[in-house]
Structure 1
Amino acid sequence: MARKLIRHARSLRVDQTDAEARIWSRLRNRSLGNARFRRQIAIDPYIVDFICTEHMLIVELDGGQHADQIEYDESRTKFLESRGYRVLRFWNNDALANTDGVIEAILAELVKRPSPRPSP
């Protein structure tokens, strides 16, 4: 199961949505608050869009299909929160139309819980 999940995560990195590409361009290479984000990472049994383990923060971008799976998303969020993560969710159209606002919200969460590790 784990290998299949990892293979699927890799394929999602290649086939990212426009919204994921836009947000990733602003998160990669420690561009936001010097936080190291990774994308499409498996946290069995799920794959999260973006994760910063230093700050225990997960960012999810949701397309229209998520309007029909509210209970699934809530249980997924509870699972991730039970592992100590904070989960931020944004709609894809917000990520595309209000990229700066989404990035500001992510930065605000990074500031709320600074990394326990010193910056390099």
Structure 2
Amino acid sequence: MRIYYNSKLKILSRELRKKSTLSEVLLWNILKGKKIKGYQFMRQKPIGDYIVDFFCNKLKLVIEIDGISHNEKSASDQIRQQKLESLGLSVLRFYEWDVKKDIHAVVRVIENWIEEFERKDTTTKNTTP
């Protein structure tokens, strides 16, 4: 499945990469270079009409870090997440203070999600005729 994006977001996504928050930088330092279970993540990736914080195409996984600005956006974040999920994507959300306070716990959640994904993927491959 191909995931399309609004090409007008490409410039904005580059700008967002330059202006990353501390929590985005901290998590990116762990995600980049296939450091988590060999999967490649991209940051500030345009998907549809949105730009997501992190994305792994092979896992169809979006990772979002919610900062203080998200406190008033819960309804729009929910709509955004539903639209991303309608594309067949999974979304993991973390609060920025959790990333700053205990990044190892955040990484464990991501790794556990990946392990579950791999188990399901293996099961699906073994049951497909």
User: So what's the TM-score if we normalise by structure 2?
Assistant: 0.85
Q: Secondary structure at the match of 2:62?
A: strand
Are residue 74 (structure 1) and residue 78 (structure 2) matched?
yes
In structure 1, the gaps of 5 or more residues are none
Return the alpha-carbon distance in structure 2 between the equivalents of residues 113 and 105 of structure 1.
12
Please, which moves more after superposition, 53-62 or 107-116?
A: 107-116
CA offsets, 1:44-93, max 9 Å, x none?
21000000110111100011111111100000000000111110000111
Are residue 53 (structure 1) and residue 57 (structure 2) matched?
yes
In structure 2, the gaps of 5 or more residues are 122-129
Are residue 107 (structure 1) and residue 83 (structure 2) matched?
no
- Greater RCO, 1 or 2 (C-alpha within 8 Å, sep 6+): 1
- Deviation above 6 Å: which 4+ runs of structure 1? none
Residue in 1 that maps onto 2:125:
none
Q: 1:3 to 1:56 in 2, by over 3 A?
A: closer
User: So what's the TM-score if we normalise by structure 1?
Assistant: 0.92
Identity %: 32
Residue number among 5, 17, 31 corresponding to 2:9 in the alignment:
5
Return the alpha-carbon distance in structure 1 between the equivalents of residues 95 and 87 of structure 2.
23
Return the alpha-carbon distance in structure 1 between the equivalents of residues 7 and 55 of structure 2.
19
Instruction: Provide the alpha-carbon RMSD of the alignment.
Output: 1.5
Q: Secondary structure at the match of 2:13?
A: helix
